[in-house]
Amino acid sequence: MSPDPMDPDPMNPDPMNPDPMNPPGPAAALFTCSPSAVPDELPLPRLSRAQLQNTLQFALALALPNDAASIWAAVKPTFARYPADVITPAPGDLRGGYGRADQAIQQTQVDAMFDTAVAIGAQLTSTTARMTALLGACATDASTTNDRACLEAFVQRFGARVTRAPLKPAEVTTYANISDPTPVAPAAVADVIVTLLSAPQTLYRVEHGTLDSAATAPLSAYELAARLSYQYWQSPPDDALWAAAADGSLLTAAGFDAQLDRLVNDARLSASLDEFASQWLRLTELPPLDALSADPTFKAFAGSTLPAASSRDAMVNDVLASLTATVRGGGNASDFLTDRRAFATDDFVAGVYGVAKWSGTGAAPLPASSKRAGLLTRAAMLSTGTAMTRPIHKGYLVRNAILCQQVGAPPQNVDLTPPMSTGSMTTRQAVEAKTGSGVCAGCHPTRINPPGFLTEGFDALGRERTAEQLFDATGHVTGTLPIDSSAAPVLTPGDTRKMADAVELTQAIDATRLYQSCLARQYFRFSAIRYESSSRDGCALAAMETAARAGKPLTEVLEAYARTASFKQRRFQ
Amino acid sequence: MSIKLLDRRMFLQGASGVALALPLLESLLPREARALPVTPPKCFVHFRTPHGGISAANMWPADSMLTTSMSYLHTVRAGPLAAQQAGSNAVLSPVLTAPSSVLTPARVAKLNLLRGLDIPKYMAHNFGGALGYYDDDKGTPGSPRPTIDQVMAYSPSFYPSVASVKRRSVAIGKVNTGSYGYKTAGVPGSGVSTSAIGGTESSLGLFNTLLAGTPSSGGGGRKPVVDQVLASYQSLRNGNARLSSEDKVRLDQHIDAVAELQRRLGTTVSAGCTVPSTPTMDNLGLRPMDGAPTKNVQFFQLINEVIAVAMNCGATRIMTSSIDENNQALTFTSRAAQGEDWHNNVSHSASGGGAAQALVMQSHQAFFAGVFMDLVARLDGFSNGAGGTLLDSSLVAWGQESGNVTHFAFTMPVITAGGAGGALKTGQYCDYRNTAKKLSGDSSTGSEQLYSGLIYNQWLSTALLAMDVPRSEWAETTHPGYGERVAYQSQYAYFFTNVGTTAAATYPEAMWQKTGEKLPFLG
């Protein structure tokens, strides 16, 4: 097990006795590589819902590029029945987790996928024009002697790409036989398509390796291509990656590097990067911001400009665009943490930052206020959808998601009613009053609350503030109290510094390098689709951690996962 | 052979009396009588609502309704149900209130209110507890059991034949359906899956699954191609290409699901049950609906509409519905769920009474009148072919995440409708609490009182027995009832020790040995 960085430091146990002359240095790296360690293997990985959707859309584009969008629109309601992947927190955590890790096999998945495949098959073969475009003129000409060959050519071409490996002649025959006795009758071709789309090689990443005898075997070029493309693009291999697998260059060091660089530096990386960041930073938990627009308290709090229905997504996109821009610009983990650019695509969010709306391309404006510290002061990280901030949740997010310091669950017999600001207390004061004594005092005052307090210079819509206005249920102001955003967050054992605000917190987090180690841990969980073993997975973790802590570009951190030996091989347990 | 045709208004109005601005699924009306079975098949329905936290005063009728008592480990009480009229409503309690046209005296006589059932463990938040998967704090149970709906679904006693069954069970829900089965469905040896069964929320999807014709890719009289799909999995599973043993286990799970799909596609609904045309509206189209109580109710009524017809047709006989205000963004009130706002500021504040408790009451009353009673009324509108209604042959139950205080598993309310073909006596308010055994609360208890009662496992056993699933299929070795034998965690001993007792004394061996029996007053 990795050491818990929150263990008390026996040399300096009093966090309230700061020694500002000696700020703690970077925490030690958490992971080490033991080359002899053999990582666990995820058995028969099921495509996530997002990966499956991309695969189906890929198949449509492959089959009928001109009609793919309209066909997807037609079958989308059927695919909507495919259940969402469930996000489950890591053991010991209250929140977090990645949807990819839901590897359950469900009846509803099988049912919905079959119905979707049937719908796609029917659509692809619905007209003579589509049949011609799908199989070629051989499918609709007057001759019947070429029908079987026509179908087999389609199976070979379409089936290989959808199942991510060339089909053996016997497999082509098996699929083609489904259409007997009318090889190119639309209903028969549709059945072939249904079977291909429902095949295990389509819905799972089936890996046989290349050596039958060894417990751990190298992946084939096609298997490696599929790992790469689903890891970084959430999609099947594109033409270039497919070609590199076909000609074997992917199995060479240079060829692998070239493809990896291409994947990570392509805009399609955002398909996986957005999902990773959304789940890592729990952006999916941000509620709609307009649901309380009729609530008197919220209206009074929000003021003259209420958030729009689009504001929630705009706030989420602000974070994701920051990450994308950082990656595209060659930035590193610290750059993402401290990126102050405002990617506000919505008037309300632009107003929060005090900048002009970002067009979606080009340079994004910088907020004028120096209090905007970067990631931790982005509106999505601060907003609650109500009139009150939630320092406990903000603190837990920093501690758990940004620093990977496990806090644990509250004792179950405590009153979990959230502290509410009153006519005479700010939200912070209410939190302190509620959590400052009894069993709560074991964790809240030193571990959970302080990182949340340090962002109290921003309100529940992410707007900068120096005072907290207090309202009654009818929206009348009952008081205005000054904000105290100072706190001692104890980022590492012995860290006694009292900080003033989110700017200092951000700088301190960056300096500990725990954030970089945490990023490595989180990206491992997202990529390996399981939780790490510090003994077995040390090589992958250390590779990413080393790159992140050294300030390498984020692209190198992401690539480090695929450069490990375990990525290119499979263990047969 | 006769069938009671539903009044058209049944479909135009929800049970709550709310006029639905929705297209009438007239095609769902059974046009022909179905075959008369010797014994009408039984159906099981379970609704689970989140949090609990309904104050005793809001949830239950007055104690004066408990006119009978008997000694059963401790004194338990019961009495016949009778609703009071208040304007156009019939009232059993503030929550159990519905329009008189729906909560008629005849339907009141088909209800049971079961009070005083405890999961003898601190549960906090959970999805599966109400049906027997004791996932305290949403964790994995120490010794997980499948939920009883899944025991029924794969019981040869419940389903002697699945010839006309499209789905053995239907789980309604988003993110977590609260329904847990075996890793390989119906195979206890494969172990209990710790992932909830995937659910659906789409009324149109349900219709397509349960009532629409067999999907065919291209028509032309071709057989469904699912057999080829199944063959592709079997070929991979049994072929020469290298796979790990764990790969094969997962393939087996998928093969099992494809085989079930194959079976379903090969079935046709019961003779005489005309396959209706596809509805024009899906309930998912009602979203967004956070803070829109009428839409919240309509959302489930559209599901009820399909389920009732599907059960009448024998297309399925089990439905579970797990409602979650956060994931589904609905509260049945005009106060939006708003992420965790409802969770934090309403549910967890409710034990203090006041506005939060009023909202909790309002929410659950709307659910009871608009969703629970809506399905009850729909099932009561179908003949069971044996002189009664489909409701009479069924057991419809409403369970909750917690008892009268959120997080606490004391007095987990269970409201039932239907006598399960005579297996259960109905029309009763049963109070199984040991009112001589008041327990200690804590800072979150507010003004609520806590009492211990009988063990919740006995309710699970009662439901299984009512559905004709014999004890031989589920009795435990450590007790004769259903489910994990749990015990109070040491850190919660204070509930008991503060009042001079212990958890073990409160739920003694003698009580565990009763868990295989039907609950008192019901047998």
Tell me the DSSP string of B471-502.
GGGT--SSSSSSS------GGGTHHHHTTT--
Residue A303 sits in the same domain as residue A179? no
ipTM score here? 0.91
Give how far Cα B189 sits from Cα of B154, B183, B185, B193, Å. Answer: 13, 9, 10, 11
The residue with greater pLDDT, A1 or B131, is: B131
Nearest to B218 among A41, A105, A122 (CB): A122
Residues B164 and B245 in one domain: no
- Quote the minimal CA–CA distance from B84 to chain A in Å: 35
A187 & A117 share domain:
yes
* Minimum distance, in Å, between the CA of residue B362 and any CA atom of chain A: 18
Question: Is B220 a residue whose pLDDT tops 80?
Answer: no
CA-based nearest distance A43→chain B, Å: 5
B518 reaches A (C-beta below 8 A): no
- Residue B153 forms part of a structural domain: yes
Structural domain includes residue B60: yes
Q: Which of residues 27-56 of A touch B (CB under 8 A)?
A: 41, 43-44, 46
**CA distances (Å), A195 to each of A46, A174, A226, B227, in order?**
17, 10, 20, 9
3-state secondary structure of A8: coil
Residues in A closer than 8 angstroms to B491, CB to CB, are: 411-413
Residue A418 forms contact with B (CB below 8 Å): yes
Q: What is the pLDDT of residue B214?
A: 57
> Which residue does chain B place closest to A181, by CA atoms?
B222
Residues B183 and B319 placed together within one structural domain of the fold: yes
**Coil vs helix vs strand at B28:** helix
Same domain, B381 and B433: yes
Q: Chain A contact for B244, CB < 8 A?
A: yes
Residues from chain B that touch A39, judged by Cβ atoms under 8 A, are: none
| Whether residue B236 sits in one domain with residue B140 | no
Cross-chain CB nearest to A114 (options B174, B261, B339): B261
Asked whether residue B295 is assigned to any structural domain, the reply reads: no
* B260·A107 Cβ contact <8 A: yes
* Residue appearing with tokens 């070609």: A243
A193 touches B at CB < 8 Å: yes
- The reply to whether A19 falls in a domain is no
CA atoms in the 13 A half-sphere facing the CB of A86: 22
Q: Which residue does chain B place closest to A388, by CA atoms? A: B341
In-domain check, residue B334 = yes
A276 in the same domain as A260: no
Question: In sequence order, what are the beta bridge partners of B396?
Answer: B45, B417
Domain that holds residue B349: 38-197+311-512
Contact status, residue A261 vs residue A297, Cβ threshold 8 Å:
no
Residue A435's nearest CA partner among A409, A421, A415, A452 is A415
Same domain, residue pair B186 and B224: no
Q: What are phi and psi of A468, to 5 degrees?
A: -110, 120
Contact B220 A188 (CB under 8 A): yes
How many domains, in total, are found in chain B?
2
A545 domain residue, yes or no = no
- On whether residue B30 sits in a domain, the answer given is no
Neighbour tally for B247: CB within 10 Å: 25
DSSP string, B147-212: -HHHHHHT-TTT-S--TT-S-S-EEE-SS--S---BSSTT-GGG-B-SSPPP-B--HHHHHHHHTS
CA distances (Å), origin A289, targets A143, A198, A417, B340? 62, 40, 22, 13
* pLDDT band for position B14 (cuts 50, 70, 90): very low
Would you call B472 an interface residue with chain A, using a CB distance cutoff of 8 Å?
no
| Residue type for position B180 | Y
- Specify whether A399 is located in the same domain as A301: yes
Structure tokens at A34: 């033991």
β A569-571/A216-218 pair status: antiparallel
pLDDT at A20: 45
Which residues are CB-neighbours of B97 under 8 A, at least 6 positions away?
B86, B89, B90, B91, B103, B365, B368, B369
pLDDT, mean over chain B: 89
With a CB cutoff of 8 Å and minimum separation 6, the contacts of A267 are none
| Interchain proximity B195–A191, CB inside 8 Å | no
Instruction: Evaluate whether residue A561 is within a structural domain.
Output: no
With beta carbons under 8 A apart, name residues in chain A contacting B209: 111
- Indicate yes or no: CB of A110 within 8 angstroms of CB of B236: no
Chain A nearest CA to B333, separation (Å): 13
Nearest to B220 among A187, A195, A414 (CB): A187
* CB neighbour list of residue B402: distance below 8 Å, 6 or more residues apart: B51, B52, B53, B123, B124, B408, B409, B412
Say yes or no: A218 contacts chain B, CB-CB below 8 A.
no
Residue A474 lies in a domain: yes
Q: Residue B333 and residue B420: Cα distance in Å, rounded? A: 32
Contact B218 A188 (CB under 8 A): yes
Task: Give the pair of three-digit tokens for residue A475.
Answer: 């929206």
B106 and B233 housed in the same domain: no
What's the first-to-final CA gap in chain A, in angstroms? 23
Residue A547 lies in a domain: no
- Name the residue facing B199 among A83, A122, A193 (closest C-beta): A83
The answer as to whether B284 is a domain residue is no
Does one domain contain both B219 and B171? Answer: no
Chain B residue with minimum CA distance to A119: B217
pLDDT at B446: 85
Interface-testing mutation among A81, A113, A388, with chain B (most B C-beta atoms within 10 A) = A81
Give the number of C-alpha atoms closer than 13 A to the C-alpha of residue A541, restricted to the C-beta side: 23
**A107, A206, A292 ranked by CB distance to B336: nearest:** A292
pLDDT in tens, B469-521: 999 999 999 999 999 999 998 888 999 999 999 999 999 999 999 999 999 99
Using CB atoms, pick whichever of A195, A212, A287 lies closest to residue B339: A287
Query: Is residue A164 domain-shared with residue A239, that is, in the same domain?
Result: no
- Kindly determine whether residue A86 and residue B176, on different chains, have CB atoms separated by under 8 Å: yes
Q: Is the confidence at residue B187, as pLDDT, over 90?
A: no
If asked whether residues B164 and B56 sit together in one domain, one would say: yes
B172 and B236 housed in the same domain: no
Domain residue limits at A231: 220-264
Q: Is B234 on the interface with A (CB under 8 A)?
A: no
Q: Does A195 share its domain with A305? A: no
Count Cβ–Cβ pairs < 8 Å, chain A vs chain B: 203
Domains of chain A: total: 3
**Based on the number of CB atoms within 10 Å of its own CB, is A70 exposed (0-12), middle (13-18) or buried (19 or more)?**
exposed
Q: Which residues contact A322 (CB under 8 A, 6 or more apart)?
A: A336, A339, A341, A343, A375, A378
Residue B79 lies in a domain: yes
Instruction: Identify which of A235, A234, A237 has the alpha carbon closest to the alpha carbon of residue A220.
Output: A237
Same domain, B188 and B132: yes
Residues B368 and B97 sit within 8 Å (Cβ to Cβ): yes
- Examine the domain organization and report whether B400 and B340 are in the same domain: yes
Q: Is residue A426 part of a domain?
A: yes
Do B51 and B189 sit in the same domain of this protein?
A: yes
- Quick one: A434 and A499 in the same domain? yes
Give the distance from residue A244's alpha carbon to the nearest chain B alpha carbon, in angstroms: 23
pTM score, whole prediction: 0.84
> Do A305 and A394 belong together in one domain?
yes
Cβ separation A193–B217 shorter than 8 A: yes
Contacts of residue B341 in chain A, CB cutoff 8 Å? 287, 292, 384-386
**Rounded Cα gap, residues B7 and B323, in angstroms:** 29
Q: Which residues of A touch B127 (CB under 8 A)?
A: none
Q: Are residues A251 and A194 in the same domain?
A: no
A183 and A253 belong to one structural domain: no
A376 and A484 in a single domain? The answer is yes
Q: Is B129 contained in some domain?
A: yes
Q: Which residues 257-316 of A are in CB contact (within 8 Å) with B?
A: 285-288, 291-292
Would you give per-residue pLDDT tens digits along chain A (573 residues)?
333 333 333 333 333 444 444 567 899 999 999 989 989 999 999 999 999 999 999 999 999 999 999 999 999 989 988 988 888 888 888 889 999 999 989 888 999 999 999 999 999 999 999 999 999 999 999 999 999 999 999 999 999 999 999 999 999 999 999 999 999 999 999 999 999 999 999 999 999 999 877 889 999 999 999 999 999 999 999 999 999 999 999 999 999 999 999 999 999 999 999 999 999 999 998 988 988 888 889 999 999 889 999 999 999 999 999 999 999 999 999 999 999 999 999 999 999 999 999 999 999 999 999 999 999 999 999 999 889 999 999 999 999 999 999 887 777 667 767 787 777 899 999 999 999 988 888 899 999 999 999 999 999 999 999 999 999 888 999 999 999 999 999 999 889 999 999 999 999 999 999 999 999 999 999 999 999 998 899 999 999 999 999 999 999 999 999 999 999 999 987
In a domain, A557, yes or no: no
Are A181 and A228 part of one and the same domain? no
User: For chain B, how long is the longest CA-to-CA vector?
Assistant: 76
Cβ of B436 under 8 Å from any chain A Cβ? no
Q: Which of A 77-96 lie inside 8 A of B, CB atoms?
A: 77, 80-81, 83-84, 86
pLDDT of amino acid B35: 45
Please name the amino acid found at residue A343. F
* Interface contact B217-A121, CB threshold 8 A: yes
Q: Count Cβ atoms below 10 Å from residue A464 Cβ, excluding itself.
A: 17
On chain B, the residues whose CB falls within 8 A of the CB of A105 are: 250, 253-254, 257
What per-residue confidence (pLDDT) applies to B427? Answer: 98
